[in-house]
A and B are shown apart, each in its own frame.
Chain A
Amino acid sequence: MKNRCSKVLALVGALALMMGSLTACGDTNTGSSVQGTPAESKVESSAAESKVESSAAESKDAQTTLSGTIQMSGSTSMEKLANALCEAFMEKYPDVTATAEFTGSGAGIEAVLAGTVDIGNSSRNLKEEEKTKGAVENIVAIDGIAVCLDPANTVADLTKQQLIDIYTGKITNWKELGGADEPIVVVGREAGSGTRGAFEELLEVKDACKYANELDSTGAVIAKVASTPGAIGYASLDTIDDSVVAAKMEGVEATAENIKAGTYFLCRPFVMATKGEISEQSELLQAWFDFVMGPEGQEIAANVGLITVE
């Protein structure tokens, strides 16, 4: 009898605890998702504004008078950069709320043109059509990708077409490219990786790549390429070390200088598009772009593995 009682008690206790933890999870989830919606952040910001106005009357410090909301939406590839910038900006100006949503480059520009957000993030150059509608291309950083080869490889220069053929499985041996008789081991990143997305987008080989190795980190890619004769891989430009060789693309070396000069094709701009020139924007947005293009913002860009525009 006593045994049965305690068994029942145990089960009930377990269930209760579990329910508690489950509902707790649910609560935090809804909490954070609500915070992300524009409505909520607007409410927050108006509250913040009124607070600032009262404090601004007392002390007229230029820095603390900045208040309001910056909303941006767009490229998923820019998630890391946008979040890092928002965080740092809000730390510098505590009365400002900066939020970013990640809906895709096209949707972001559409939103900024429609006026629903202040900034449209785009991980590609703006199209002529978008520019004529009033979108202005403000490049805040550049994402560069290097193709790395093992150090013993004699082929050190690839064309775009050769790279496409290698990654889609048309070329399978280095001798077809004038190198040694060595099979090509095609190394890449896992589905969902930003680097893989950018690489496949730039080569226009989305979903057509035939990988022999899909590794889940930049370090793993470089280690695999470094230790495997005939391997080819890709990684963010700033992560390439001496254990591998960065191949030339169409005769151009993979360096930050060449990317800025526009001669190295395996790169894409990170654009924060505005409707109209920056000088026509509100004081808050001008401060945002001063911050992003300034030393602090560019340091953040460098920290997340991007090439700075200055």
Chain B
Amino acid sequence: MKSETNASIMGNRKNKAVVETVAQIIFTICALFAILAVISITLYMILSGTPAIFQVGPMEILFGTVWAPTAAEPRFGILYVILTSIVGTFLAILLGVPIGILTAVFLAEVAPKKLAMAVKPAVELLAGIPSVVYGLLGIYLLGPVMYRLEKFVFADSTTHQFTGGANLMSAVIVLAIMILPTVINISETSIRAVQPGIKAASLALGASHIQTIFRSILPAARSGIMTAVVLGVGRAIGEAMAITLVSGSSVNPPLPFNSVRFLTTAIVSEMGYAEVGSTHRNMLFTIGLVLFVFIMLINVVLSRILKKGEVHR
């Protein structure tokens, strides 16, 4: 049977050509979907995000600190929101990346095989948990603990507004946990992909195992680890569902125990009731545009860094 079908396709030049063309058309159509999505999203963001810039003024939006969209004299300053997204993402990376990389080292180099076999599925499971579940766990497990910490830190303060555990720190911790699986999986793969010769040479020269890991293996796996960080940043800055539940959602400067609002949660939380066609709603799209520009910038800058790293190698 098999040889027969083979013969019918291979043997007939016409059939073969048709199959080739059809396949190519199918591939092109599939690729079109992605291009179409990117172009239409970009256009839509620009079209719907720019009206409010003209209505409010770019300086007022980017450097204003008061967000009062429904006031008698509405104010649309999102400086604190932008800063919160930057600081929050940075802190989450600061917390999550070292833990992630060290876990990857542990899995790839240090752990006994049986233990690694147990940890690996756990990490993969972590990646599959929906973000809203992280948020719920954040409310019920993290919230009370953070509130106790907050009460302890600000025991004598008369000016601090108590948030009940919904603050920047909680959001950062949740974000850090959420980026762990991405960082761990990609770092581990890149560590495992390091040529065995490098490790062997390092050990042969008398370096200890730990020295080998930090001086030879990790530098050799650098580009893969950078990719892991980039994807981690992407996940952290774009996350909305989990942190909308734990960040408190009031517009405040991004201090650890302040209730804060991220770019993503700013859109999510007010979209429901913002009047259609109003400056308020347009402004929410502008926040989306700002977020979009941010993610583009981060992608471009980090991919430049990545390329440079590869050239050096």
Asked whether B162 lies within 8 Å of A214 as measured between CB atoms, the reply is no
Asked whether A211 lies within 8 Å of B250 as measured between CB atoms, the reply is yes
Nearest to A6 among chain B residues (CB) is: B28
How far apart sit A211 and B163, CA to CA, in the bound complex (Å)? 9
Specify which chain B residues have a CB less than 8 angstroms from the CB of A194 in the assembled complex: 273
- Assuming the contacts A13-B32, A185-B162, A228-B143, asked whether A216 and B71 have C-beta atoms less than 8 A apart, the reply is no
B240-289 residues with Cβ-Cβ distance < 8 A to A are 244-245, 248-250, 259, 261, 268-270, 272-275, 280
Cβ of A106 < 8 Å from any Cβ of B? no
Asked whether A212 lies within 8 Å of B161 as measured between CB atoms, the reply is yes
* Interface hub of A21, A169, A172 (most chain B Cβ within 10 A): A172
Cβ of A38 < 8 Å from any Cβ of B? no
- Assuming the contacts A18-B43, A21-B40, A228-B165, asked whether A213 and B275 have C-beta atoms less than 8 A apart, the reply is no
1/0 per residue, CB under 8 A from A, across B143-174: the answer is: 11001000100000010011111100000000
Cβ of A58 < 8 Å from any Cβ of B? no
Cβ of B300 < 8 Å from any Cβ of A? no
Cβ of A190 < 8 Å from any Cβ of B? yes
CB B194 to nearest CB in A, in angstroms, measures 37
Cβ of A207 < 8 Å from any Cβ of B? yes
Cβ of B70 < 8 Å from any Cβ of A? yes
Specify which chain B residues have a CB less than 8 angstroms from the CB of A11 in the assembled complex: 35
CB B99 to nearest CB in A, in angstroms, measures 28
Identify which of B70, B163, B280 contacts A213 (C-beta below 8 A).
B163
Asked whether A192 lies within 8 Å of B248 as measured between CB atoms, the reply is no
1/0 per residue, CB under 8 A from B, across A241-270: the answer is: 000000000000000000000000000000
Specify which chain A residues have a CB less than 8 angstroms from the CB of B69 in the assembled complex: 191-192
Specify which chain B residues have a CB less than 8 angstroms from the CB of A17 in the assembled complex: 36
CB A206 to nearest CB in B, in angstroms, measures 7
Asked whether A192 lies within 8 Å of B270 as measured between CB atoms, the reply is yes
Asked whether B270 lies within 8 Å of A169 as measured between CB atoms, the reply is no
Asked whether B40 lies within 8 Å of A18 as measured between CB atoms, the reply is yes
CB B241 to nearest CB in A, in angstroms, measures 12
Q: Could you list which residues of chain A lie within 8 angstroms of chain B, going by C-beta atoms? A: 6, 10-11, 13-15, 17-18, 21, 76, 169, 172, 183-187, 190-194, 197, 206-207, 210-216, 220, 223-224, 227-231
A-B contacts, 19 listed (Cβ < 8 Å): A14-B39, A18-B36, A21-B40, A76-B275, A184-B162, A187-B164, A190-B270, A191-B69, A192-B274, A194-B273, A206-B71, A210-B161, A212-B162, A213-B164, A214-B269, A216-B270, A224-B164, A230-B162, A230-B164
Q: Could you list which residues of chain B lie within 8 angstroms of chain A, going by C-beta atoms? A: 28, 31-32, 35-36, 39-40, 43, 67-72, 139-140, 143-144, 147, 151, 158, 161-166, 244-245, 248-250, 259, 261, 268-270, 272-275, 280
